[in-house]
Structures are given as structure tokens and as C-alpha cells.
Amino acid sequence: MDSRIVLTINGNVSDLLTSSASISVYEKAGQATEFQLRLPIDIVDSDFPMLLENDLAPGNEVMILASSDDVSECLVKGQIFGHEVQYLHGGVGSSVRVFGGDSRFTMQRENKCVQWADVTDSEVVSSIVAQYGMIPEVSATDSRHLTEKHSLIQRNTDDFFIDMLAKRNGFLFWVGSDDSGIETAYFQPPQLQGDAHFDLVINMDEANLDEFTLKWDCLRATEFSANQLDLNSLELIEANASEADLEFLGNTMLSQVINQQANFHSLAPANDTGCLTSLSKGMLNDSQWFIHGKCVTSANRLGRILRANKLANIRGLGSRHSGYYYIVSVTHTIDSTRHLMNVEVVRNAWS
């Protein structure tokens, strides 16, 4: 296994990463991060002792650390929740895949019925994640759920509930950990300001990509209008969103390419026009990502470890498509020879 990769189990460095072991970590914006360890097993005294290892027991806490340029990053911290065993006759070549995921899976274990009154969505999220010992990195939301109008009712797991709140505010929800194991829960819109964290280059001398695939589609709305009946006054509440409030990563946004409106009736109770406008804005922001790209690079070639929810400056795609992109997913595939990174990026405007 690459010496720059460290596996810890319950806080102790593990020696399970032999030269024939491999690791896969999948991180995606707005989703739980999952990991997979592939470990060789063999027959010893008519048994498979690796399958009896206490380190691989369900519920054990795994951290996978990767380093580059003397900077250590935690790719994932979370519990083991499953095995898949492949037996080959005679034992040689058999393997076990150990599955697990970050703390969002822990938040999926209990359905709850809770009334949240006189609070904002962001206050609810901060309260919930604090119960799991996470540091809340939460962007404020404005609309308050009032008892005399519509209190907020939770009828699902904490993870599902927060994810629902994120979607209707145009936010993302994810959990990250530093290399000491301290977890932070993020509830915020994509961070699109500032300099890019990574440079990805193709068709130039300093290239670190061999291939880049790009597609764009305009089957998306550029304006949302919503309506709902106020159950107290029986008056119609209406809202419209025609301007996304995200930063644009290029000069020509979707509304300058095509103009399409979408109308919807909000199923989520809205207290007033402001609340309904927030719902419309969230849908509009999500609709803006009409450019998608994917590529593969390696930690050795890039000299960095790519992470989801970061900005990448992609060069060599021509005048229209070169520029800043938001990294929505990275699949890390690590073995004894390399650390590959399959990357998906999006953009909400072209140059």
C-alpha cells in the first residue's frame, strides 16, 4: 500500500493494508461519503482468520488519511457496516470487501417525530448536528417557522430531514473530518468565491490530464414561480425567482443561452412570500448547473489530493469551456502503486 495512506481503526494505526490491499473512497457533494477496503484472505487451519479480525467488526470506527506535500487529509471517517466475501476454490485469491461510511449513516438509524417551532432551518440543523458531537458550519437561513402559522414537523431520520432542508434552501449538506478526527457538519450553498483550490490542465505542456469529457444541456428552467394557499387568511401566496443568487463561474449564464419558465405548487408549507421565495431560489440555483465534466488524474501526477466541494481551474478546453468548475464528486482508488482520482465537475456559466 502507498506509504502516504494511513488506515486507523478505533484510533489505532492498522497493519491490514498489505501490498495486495486496495481502498476506494467515494465523496460527492450533498451525499454521505462511503469507503471500501479490499483485503486478501486465505485458508489457515481450515478457516479464514481474516474474517474473524476484531478490527473488521461492525461498528468499528475507520479513518483513512492521505498525505501529499506534507499535508495530511482525512478522506473519510466512519463506521464499518458490512462485508462482501469472494471465495475462490483453494483459498488463494479470495478477498473480503469491507464497507462503511461517514457519520451521515449514523444519522439514518432512527426515525423521529419532532415539532420545531419558532426557529429557522439553520437553527434546526445546528441543534441536530450538535447532538452528534459535530461542529456546525451552517449558513443562516431567514424564514422562521412560527407556531401560529406553520411549525416545522420532522417525520424521518435526522439525515433525511436535514437533507430535505438543504435542498429547499439551495444548500448542500455534508460531513467532513480533519486528520485528528474532529468532524464538521456543513450546511451551506456551494462556495464559489475566491481562488481555485486546484489546477487541472490538458492540451498544454504542464498537463496533468489525458482526457476530459464535457457535456451541456439546456433542458432546465431559468425562472421559477410558485404559489400556495395561506390556511389562516385563505389568501394566495405567490413568489417568483428569476435571478440565481450563486456566483457564476463564467460570463454567459443559462438564462442568456435559453429562457424557460417552470411553475410549481409548493408541497412544503410556506408561512409567507419570503419563505416561498426561498424555496423558489433553491430550485433555481440547482437548475443552473447545465455544464458537466469528468476526468481522471492521480495524486502523484497532480501533486495534490482532490476533494469534493472545492473549486478547480480547468485549462486547455478552449475559450468557451476553460475556467473555474465546482468539484461535485471524487472517487479515490488506491492500491500499492497509485492513487487515482475520478472527478466530476459542474459549471453554471460558460466563458
Q: In the block, which residue shows the cell 429562457?
A: 259
Write out the three cell numbers for 145: 417557522
**pLDDT tens per residue across span 238-297:** 777 777 888 999 999 988 888 766 555 555 555 556 667 777 788 888 889 999 999 999
Q: CA 226, 229, 230 angle in degrees (round to 5)?
A: 120
pTM score above 0.85:
yes
- Residue 222, pLDDT > 90, answer no
Q: Quote the pLDDT of residue 263.
A: 54
170 vs 136, residue with greater confidence: 136
Shortest CA distance to 141 belongs to which of 123, 159, 157? 123
**pLDDT tens per residue across span 44-101:** 999 999 999 999 999 999 999 998 877 889 999 999 999 999 999 999 999 999 999 9
Determine the length of the chain. 351
Domain edges within the chain = 5-102, 108-188, 198-216+290-350, 223-286
CATH 2.30.300.10 assigned to domain 198-216+290-350? The reply is yes
CATH 3.55.50.10 assigned to domain 108-188? The reply is yes
Sign of CA dihedral 246, 249, 254, 255: positive
**pLDDT tens per residue across span 124-157:** 999 999 999 999 999 998 877 765 566 788 999 9
